[in-house]
Amino acid sequence: MKINSYVRIIVALISLILLSGCWDIKEIDKRNFPLIIGISKENKEEYKVSLHIPTSEKGGKMSRTVSQKGTNVSSILGQLRTNIEDAVYYKQVRLIIIQNKLANDKEDLSELIKFLMKSKELPSIALIAITEENIEKMFSNINGKHFSHTTSIIDYFYKGADWAPEISTTRIWEVYRSLFSYTKDIAIPVVNSGKDTILNYEGAAILKNGKITEKINPSENQFVILFKNHNANGIIENLGNASIMVTNSSLKIKPSMLTSEPIVSSNLSLKIDILERKEGVTNDQIQSKLEKQFKKQFYDMLDKAQKNKTDIFGFGQHFRNQIPFHELKNWREEYYPNLKVNFQVHVIIE
């Protein structure tokens, strides 16, 4: 009886190994991890998907590009998996670059975003970016740079807020959320391949319900990020006769509703460091000039955005609990054009 039970345990253990499916596990060196997926549209029907796959060869090229054409993205990803030698795991994809032509088409873009979000293979935390160039050319430009390494394009986007306050990092799930949001629009970074650097940051495209409404330049985008993160550390501003860097900042937003007219009072306090100044320029002059410049930039952008009915600063988010839900879908059309913003800037020189 006792021997019998040992035999049973042994049989159970052996079947554990056989049944678990561990014989067809792919080792790490037999897997391919595409880091970037580029998606473009060649003509009306045909999509083209390019994968940027790091290789582990010593010396030689650090990564390679694989492209495939087809009628929809999911089938192309499947075909790529068939054609590439090793197993392809899309789980590590960090960046999805969408070509301009495809991004400008509202329906195609929303369809693509929905697919990217719902696909179980692709991580929904991957960053998204738009380019105006040919994607294959862009990838080959990255490969051609002798200083680039396998993950340099990821490092480009993950510099951290204090080092590159202009770059917005937008994830797929954020774009997906903005497709259905009544009160918030989202900025997607636009990049092109650079001459001396792997990428060149061009600004951001503002997406409203899946449609690109306007493009803003990098210095405008840092305002958008300021309102998103409530933090403006690292911004360098040229004031003509001096230049400063923001070392610490805080932003307070207080929404209030006066008979269907939304009012936002926002206080931005900045601690700045003076990097350089011309002779005879006093601290007071710098302070007042900076305050004026920030206010002007902000109100210019707000005017433009209100005309486009695009809530790039996401002010609508603050009124979600003050407007009845069935009215919320009218935010952009009825409430937002009437929005008054009282923007105050306080500058402290350290």
Partner 1 sequence: MQKLVQEIKSIFANHDDFFIQEEHFKQTAIFLIGFNTMIDFTHSNLYIRQMAKMSASVNELFTNLSDQLDVDLEQIIKAILDGKLVLLSECNRNALLVPISRKLSRSIDEPKNESIIQGPLNAFGEDIDINLGMIRKWLGTERLCHCSHQIGQLTKRRISMLYIKGKAPIALIEKVDRLLKQIESDIVTIDDLNKHFGQHKFNPISYLFSTEIPIQAIDSLKKNRVVLFLDNYPCALVFPHLFLDMLTTVNDRNFPIGLSLLIRALRGLGALATLILPALYVALTSVNPDVLKIDLALFISKSREGIPLTPIVETLTMVVLVDLIIEAILRLPKSVGPTITMVGGIILGQAMVDAKLVSNLLVIVVTAMLIANSSVVGVQNSLYIRALKYPILILASVYGILGLFTGLTFVCIYLASLTSCDIAYMTFRIEGKGDTI
Return the number of the residue (44 or 58) whose C-beta is nearest partner 1. 58
- Told to check if 29 binds partner 1 by CB under 8 A, we report yes
Shortest reach from residue 10's CB to partner 1, in Å: 13
91's enclosing H/E stretch is: none
Given its phi and psi angles, is residue 86 left (phi above 0), alpha (psi -120 to 50 degrees) or beta?
beta
> Closer to partner 1 at the Cβ: 87 or 348?
87
Select from 15-23, 172-180, 211-219, 265-273 the region that touches partner 1 (CB under 8 A): 15-23
* Binds partner 1 by CB under 8 A, chosen from 66, 154, 236, 245: 154
Each residue 90-129 as x (binds partner 1 by CB under 8 A) or -, in order, gives -xx-x-----------------------------------
DSSP states of 187-208 as a string?
A: EEEEEE--SSSS-EEEEEEEEE
Cβ-based nearer residue to partner 1, 53 or 109: 53
Q: If binding is defined by CB under 8 A, does position 27 make contact with partner 1?
A: yes
Q: Measure the CA dihedral 338/342/174/136, to 10°.
A: 100
Tokens of 79: 């075909």
Task: Give the interface segment with partner 1, choosing from 23-31, 39-47, 161-169, 325-333 (CB under 8 A).
Answer: 23-31
Select 25 or 258, whichever has its Cβ closest to partner 1.
25
Q: Does 16 bind partner 1 (CB under 8 A)?
A: yes
Check binding of 139 to partner 1 (CB under 8 A): no
- The closest alpha carbon to 331, from 222, 242, 257, 253, belongs to 257
DSSP string for residues in 41-83:
ESSSS-EEEEEEEE---SSS-SEEEEEEEESSHHHHHHHHHHH
- SS3 at position 344: strand
Q: Which residues 47-66 are close enough to bind partner 1 by CB under 8 A?
A: 54, 56-58
Give the CA distances from residue 338 to residues 34, 182, 258, 309, 332, in Å, rounded to whole numbers and listed in that order.
47, 16, 11, 10, 10
User: What SS3 class is residue 172?
Assistant: helix
Binding site for partner 1 (CB under 8 A): 16-17, 20, 22, 25-29, 31, 33, 35, 54, 56-58, 89, 91-92, 94, 150-151, 154
